[in-house]
Amino acid sequence: MLDVVACGELLIDFTPMPHPEPGKMAYEQNPGGAVANVLAALSRFHKKTAFLGAVGNDAFGRFLKQTLMDLEIGTDGLVLTDAALTTLAFVHIDASGERSFSFARNPGADTQLREADIDEEMIAQARLFHFGSLSLTHEPARSATWKAVDIAKRHKLLVSFDPNIRESLWPDMEQAKAMALHGIRQADIVKLSEEELELLAPASGLAEATEWLMETCRHQAIFVTRGKAGCYFRTEKEQGMVPGYAVDAVDTTGAGDAFLGGLLYQVLEAKQPLRSMDNDTLTRMVRFANAAGALTTTRTGAIPALPALADVERFVAENRI
């Protein structure tokens, strides 16, 4: 029995590091990829997880496979392909710790997952299925992802989706919006950034835009991350804003993924479905997720920076907001 199966990208983040010589930049190799980051966070929280995706049959790909194995994330669904090299993301961090990316992905191995690679038995034994939009940018991974989603829905798993839109990876933004909205319609739980909400919803403002999404897509819950400002949540009956935690951020890479990992951990631990939770329960869940995201920003890298369960619980207990 698995808690979570996720389908999507696993790649190398090259994170900038100080260099002693002026005019030179050093980069540290770190495992990353939003979907893989979410599984890594859940693994740190002692949930049993498995990954569906592709990396290159190269040194980077083998490093990534070993990373998943070290985290005790199932790798039976990980394909090492000769069709393309492992995808690389070069991280750029500004003075406030906010990051942007440059990708080496033309094509990248993560786009080479095929429908035949999708293991129905693996998905069927899980409680929750998670996916994002990076595996929807190109075929054959797009069709493979939709197949995995269909299997999850047929077996009545909870489905979560994070658009995680990276404009430079899409042929055009109209296609990105169409794929993201289709993904949102498949999901019970949607996590997206405030900027993505503005892009995807015709209404303006958090309340109006999330109301439109709820009416259009009939989710159990929507969570809108707002960086340092925290998170806005909405279910059919409840809505609220949970402030973020003030920390000394050095790198925001993976913060949203850590948030989502923390949130899904709370969902899996809960004794009731999201749609029936009261405001206080939802607020406690988001507070935990906010803490997971905040702690991740205090270290560099994505997966290496993810906190342990005890660290998040201690942080929440010591920082009342």
- Residues in the chain, total: 321
Determine how β-strand 11-17 pairs with β-strand 26-32.
antiparallel
Q: Which of 265, 275, 191 is nearest to 236 (CA)?
A: 275
Residue whose token pair is 């890298």: 301
Question: What integer pLDDT is reported at residue 218 of this predicted model?
Answer: 81
Contact yes or no for 280/252 (Cβ under 8 A) = no
Query: Which pLDDT band holds residue 97 (cuts at 50, 70, 90)?
Result: low
What does DSSP assign to residue 87? Answer: P
**13-27, 45-59, 132-146 — which is least confidently predicted?**
13-27
pLDDT per residue over 143-152, tens digit each?
999 999 999 9
Query: Which pLDDT band holds residue 263 (cuts at 50, 70, 90)?
Result: very high
Query: Which pLDDT band holds residue 108 (cuts at 50, 70, 90)?
Result: very high
**Where does the chain have alpha helices with state H?**
34-44, 59-70, 120-124, 141-154, 173-186, 194-200, 206-217, 255-269, 279-296, 309-318
Give the Cα separation of 64 and 55 in Å (integer). 8
pLDDT per residue over 208-247, tens digit each?
999 999 988 888 999 999 999 999 999 999 999 999 999 9
* Residues in CB range of 129: below 8 A, 6 or more apart: 4, 5, 6, 7, 123, 148, 149, 152, 157, 158, 159, 160
Q: Is 150 exposed, middle or buried (0-12, 13-18, 19+ CB in 10 A)?
A: middle
Give the Cα separation of 6 and 49 in Å (integer). 8
Phi and psi angles of residue 54, each rounded to the nearest 5 degrees, phi first:
-130, 140
CATH topology of domain 2-9+34-84+111-306: UDP-N-acetylmuramoyl-L-alanine:D-glutamate ligase (3.40.1190)
The mean predicted confidence, pLDDT, of the chain is: 95
Give the pLDDT mean for 297-316: 95
Query: Which pLDDT band holds residue 300 (cuts at 50, 70, 90)?
Result: confident
Phi and psi angles of residue 185, each rounded to the nearest 5 degrees, phi first:
-65, -20
Whether the per-residue pLDDT at 67 is higher than 70: the answer is yes
Question: What integer pLDDT is reported at residue 173 of this predicted model?
Answer: 96
Whether the per-residue pLDDT at 93 is higher than 80: the answer is no
Percentage of residues in the chain with pLDDT exceeding 90? 87
Spans of all domains in the chain? 2-9+34-84+111-306
25 to 21, 30, 70, 103, 307: CA distances (angstroms): 8, 16, 29, 17, 27
